[in-house]
Amino acid sequence: MVSAELAVALPALVLVLAVALMGLRLGVDTIRCTDAARVGARVAARGEGVGAVRSAVLRDAPAGSVVTLSYAAGVVRVGVAAPGGLFARWGPPPSASAEVPLEETVAAVGG
């Protein structure tokens, strides 16, 4: 009798654990996107080139992330979007953006 109940409960427990772990990974990927966007924005604000910004962002971002970079009115904005994995059909993928003003020397040169 106990083994029959265990045979029914064990797959349900494994399913709940799998969903919880995927949710945890989604949260960690969102935090990694936020950190990577902040690092990229700081590097871009210092006047580094696009290649340096992309490599700084991709070093901290989840694998397969897409980086966007834009300059407007003395402000640089860096966006990072990670692939959604198994949760991609039920919601937006993890993403973040950071925006910082350009440093004085960079703004004077024209970015």
Query: What does the domain layout of the chain look like in residue ranges?
Result: 2-109
CATH for 2-109, options being 1.10.357, 1.25.40, 1.10.3470, 3.30.1300: 3.30.1300
Q: Does the pLDDT value for residue 31 go beyond 70?
A: yes
- Report the share of the chain in percent with pLDDT over 70: 89
Question: Which segments of 1-111 does DSSP mark as H helices, in order?
Answer: 2-45, 50-60, 104-109
pLDDT of res. 3? 82
Residue 88 pLDDT grade (very low, low, confident, very high; cuts 50, 70, 90): low
Band of pLDDT at residue 5, cut at 50, 70 and 90: confident
Report whether pLDDT(102) > 90.
no
pLDDT tens for 37-84 read 999 999 998 888 899 999 999 999 999 999 999 988 889 999 999 987
* 66-72: strand order across its sheet: 66-72, 75-81, 95-101
Judged by DSSP in three states, 100 sits in: strand
Q: Across all residues in the chain, what is the average pLDDT?
A: 86
pLDDT above 70 for 87: no
